[in-house]
Amino acid sequence: MDIQCTERELFLIKKIAHAAAEIEVPAYLVGGFVRDKLLGRPSKDADIVCVGDGIALAHKVADRFHPRPIVAFYKNFGTASIRLDGFEVEFVGARKESYRYHSRNPEVLPGTLEEDQLRRDFTINAMAVSLNENDLGKLIDPFDGVQDLAGKVIRTPLDPSQTFSDDPLRMLRAIRFASQLGFVIEQRTWDGICLQVDRIKIISQERITEEFNKILSSRQPSVGLDLLYRSGLMHIIFPQMVDLAGAEYIDGMGHKDNFYHTLQVVDNISRHTDDLWLRWAALLHDIGKPPTKKFEAGHGWTFHGHEVVGGRMVPRIFAKMKLPQNEKMRYVRKLVELHLRPISLTKDNITDSAIRRLLYDAGEEIDDLMLLCSADITSKNRVKVKRFLENFNLVRERLHEVEEKDKIRNWQPPITGEIIMTTFGLPPGRIVGEIKNAIREAILDGDIQNNYDAAYELMMKKATEFNLQPVL
């Protein structure tokens, strides 16, 4: 084999080769599996192209295993897939395809291996390995993909304008591979992206978001995010991010470029977490700055309330991007709304009450919030960053001390709404809420102890303000 495979992969490859020989169908390993093997990267799936019926080959391969795996196939597309011990193999007949200008769906016709390789997005994904007896394991590389792998170059096999016009999602894929692999997009290919950006409008939001999430999940997301911005794609798929770009000056007073600040924050946090939703929180933490930007004479630029406005923007952005409208969205919104709170606690004489309130409001997300706030400390002045981080570490220590003492994280007041209603024979309503809130605020402020007896005593005291008497 011209590529290095594990014993398990070789076992599977031989099964496929024998099945293809049995039905006399030439077959080839293609695409990402070949690329990743040449790069020494692990792979959990493989694509098989055959000059013939891909669905028939999939069934023939499945017949060689016991128990026989399920073959999922789609006649309209001529594709089939099987899953073997967590490894997924997709089969398709070699094809050529063309797109009508305003269509997302290609016109697909049977083709040769060469035509199939020509229709692929990039040279590094157009390599194939033969599974045929006469040249088993031979690498077929018509577009110098191996050379581009060595040079870390993203390049299209055909003229870039045709490649990207045929399937505009390839523009995002080019940027995603550059971000994931640390490759450079070849100049002609880059020019093709910049010329075809409007074509991305015909691609479904789900496919766009899938590629965007892969860019955000890469080792250094700023590479891909910057390419999206400079190409003009960001202006179409995520205009709120573009609104962050640029610095405005009045009377010699300016503000930092919040787009590139955000990219630095995302990179900072990505060094410590692979959590996609925490990275989304970093991406959106300042998204409310453009609508709150204001110049105040003698003071400079302000963004008052941008964390609140940004939090309100999160659900709309998630809906537009077809991201989950569930606890993931609520998690991101919560971090966006709270991201200034820990920074405000770096000042002198911060009370235990302020620390308790942050612990209570952040709850389980306090550690993620602190990681986000730490990543948000950016400046070209290293001395300034060092000082901010030292002050921030003092806040971490205070949080730990107060939590050890008061156990506020995930805390609920000892007197619940049910206890109040039962004690005074009340239905749910405003009075129950006011008494409950008074108890909570008193404990957070440190006015009473965090225990049942102290809370009960305050409940009885507040009840007299509403002329309430306990029921017998």
- Exposed, middle or buried, 231 (CB in 10 Å: 0-12/13-18/19+)? buried
What homologous superfamily is domain 7-151 in, according to CATH? Beta Polymerase, domain 2 (3.30.460.10)
Residue 103's pLDDT is 54
Partners of residue 416 on adjacent β-strands:
none
pTM (2 decimals)?
0.84
Assigned token pair, 252:
């010699």
pLDDT at 343: 81
CA atoms within 13 Å, Cβ hemisphere of 184? 6
pLDDT of residue 65: 93
- How far apart CA 274 and CA 124 sit, in angstroms, is 26
Tell me what pLDDT residue 389 has: 75
* Domain coordinates in residue numbering, the chain: 7-151, 152-237, 417-465
**pLDDT under 50 in the chain at which residues?**
none
Cα within 13 Å of Cα(215), Cβ side: 24
Look at residue 391 in the predicted model and tell me its pLDDT.
75
Write down the CATH number for the domain with range 152-237: 1.10.110.30
What's the rounded Cα separation, in Å, for the pair 138 and 119? 21
